[in-house]
């Protein structure tokens, strides 16, 4: 019996090591010519699942299973009565051990509601831009890292407002020397005018033939990851997928493994300069990642861990 127990333990240990090695392949990996990152976008609906139960632990579990290096998040409450005055992004940051940045789109229910980002690497800086939305105002969150700039948005349900958002997105993103990627819930199908127009400036690298909404039985593709056309020579999408997550939210997350060339050095780390250049009167909110912005009700919130 003792011998069998030892053999079982050894087999379990080997299996565990193999599982861990497979998991590590999805994490940030340096190569000879660049760095490979796992990008993810997820509309989390504040942790409200398809069973109408709010459980942020389930969302965190989905994220941790994918082990993204950087993650764009949509539908986040910050200290609203609807969510019992909880800072939802902060809770996810603790459960995933990632750095959070929050960008509110609107004041709502005693707090704020908007989009956010989680990252393993501490951001160098970030800025948010208002976007049009007649049913509710929208926002574009732009976060700068060492080797790239990642943008997150949740666009209006109205096609006209989606198209009005595009010139703002283009003007903001074309100002950066570093590679620029954008992700989010675009509220548009692959054949809709906005996605067609977006592809004049960005290359969509997430699956367009796999549905993401609703999460239990998806029939619509609404969530995307894309690379700016100016950067396609130095940014390569290796793989992409829609994650089978039928319960934690009403959307399924999208993941893309992307290699970014680091042979060309990029020293543009001034978010203030980029914000000023992009839109003089856009009402931008620019922050340094090291700023004292721990108040969850602030316009843009970041926590450094």
Mean pLDDT of 93-113: 97
List CB contacts of 22: < 8 A, sequence separation 6 or more. Answer: none
**Distance, CA of 206 to CA of 231 (rounded, Å):** 16
pTM of this structure: 0.82
Mean pLDDT of 94-110: 97
Residue 36 within a domain: yes
Q: Please report how the helices 88-96 and 56-66 are oriented relative to each other, as an axis angle in degrees rounded to 10.
A: 40
Which has the closest alpha carbon to 26: 231, 258, 213? 258
User: Lowest-confidence range among 1-5, 189-193, 256-260?
Assistant: 1-5
The domain that holds 56 is classified in CATH as: 3.60.10.10
pLDDT of residue 268: 56
List CB contacts of 19: < 8 A, sequence separation 6 or more. Answer: none
The tens digit of pLDDT for each residue in 157-209 reads: 999 999 999 999 999 999 999 999 999 999 999 999 999 999 999 999 999 99
Residue 160 within a domain: yes
Mean pLDDT of 8-19: 40
Residue 178 within a domain: yes
Residue written as token pair 């959307």: 251
**Distance, CA of 52 to CA of 47 (rounded, Å):** 9
The total number of structural domains in the chain stands at 1
Residue 68 within a domain: yes
Which has the closest alpha carbon to 74: 133, 15, 118? 118
**Distance, CA of 25 to CA of 36 (rounded, Å):** 10
User: Lowest-confidence range among 157-166, 231-240, 295-304?
Assistant: 295-304
Residue 96 within a domain: yes
pLDDT of residue 192: 98
For residue 122, the 8-state DSSP code is P
**Distance, CA of 41 to CA of 62 (rounded, Å):** 12
**Distance, CA of 218 to CA of 212 (rounded, Å):** 5
Mean pLDDT of 17-27: 40
pLDDT of residue 274: 45
Contact between 245 and 196 (Cβ < 8 Å):
no
**Distance, CA of 173 to CA of 229 (rounded, Å):** 11
C-alpha distance across the termini of the chain, in Å: 47
pLDDT of residue 30: 72
Domain that holds residue 263: 27-295
287 — pLDDT class (breaks 50, 70, 90)? low
pLDDT at 7 over 70: no
Residue 300 within a domain: no
List CB contacts of 176: < 8 A, sequence separation 6 or more. Answer: 144, 149, 268, 274
Distances (CA, A) of 221 to 38, 110, 187, 235: 20, 32, 8, 24
285 — pLDDT class (breaks 50, 70, 90)? low
Contact between 57 and 95 (Cβ < 8 Å):
yes
Contact between 175 and 274 (Cβ < 8 Å):
yes
Q: Determine the 3-state secondary structure of 57 from DSSP.
A: helix
Handedness of CA 180, 184, 188, 191 (dihedral sign): positive
């Amino acid at each position: 019996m003792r011998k069998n127990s030892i053999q079982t333990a050894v087999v379990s240990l080997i299996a565990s090591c193999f599982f861990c090695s497979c998991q590590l392949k999805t994490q940030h990996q340096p190569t000879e010519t660049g760095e490979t990152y796992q990008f993810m976008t997820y509309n989390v609906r504040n942790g409200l699942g398809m069973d109408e139960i709010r459980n942020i632990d389930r969302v965190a579990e989905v994220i941790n299973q994918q082990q993204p290096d950087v993650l764009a998040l949509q539908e986040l409450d910050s200290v609203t009565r609807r969510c019992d005055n909880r800072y939802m992004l902060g809770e996810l940051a603790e459960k995933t051990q990632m750095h959070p940045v929050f960008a509110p789109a609107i004041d709502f229910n005693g707090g704020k509601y908007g989009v956010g980002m989680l990252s393993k690497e501490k951001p160098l800086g970030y800025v948010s831009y208002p976007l049009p939305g007649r049913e509710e105002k929208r926002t574009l969150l732009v976060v700068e890292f060492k080797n790239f700039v990642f943008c997150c948005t949740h666009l209006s349900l109205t096609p006209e407002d989606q198209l009005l958002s595009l010139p703002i997105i283009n003007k903001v993103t074309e100002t950066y020397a570093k590679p620029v990627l954008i992700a989010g819930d675009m509220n548009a199908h692959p054949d809709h005018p906005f996605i067609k127009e977006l592809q004049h400036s960005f290359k969509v690298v997430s699956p367009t033939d796999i549905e993401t909404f609703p999460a239990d039985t998806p029939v619509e593709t609404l969530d995307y990851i894309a690379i700016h056309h100016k950067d396609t020579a130095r940014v390569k999408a290796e793989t992409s997928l829609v994650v089978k997550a039928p319960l934690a939210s009403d959307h399924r997350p999208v993941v893309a493994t992307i290699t970014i060339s680091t042979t060309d050095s990029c020293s543009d780390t001034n978010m203030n300069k980029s914000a000023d250049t992009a839109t003089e009167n856009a009402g931008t909110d620019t922050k340094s990642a090291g700023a004292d912005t721990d108040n969850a009700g602030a316009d843009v919130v970041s926590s450094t861990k």
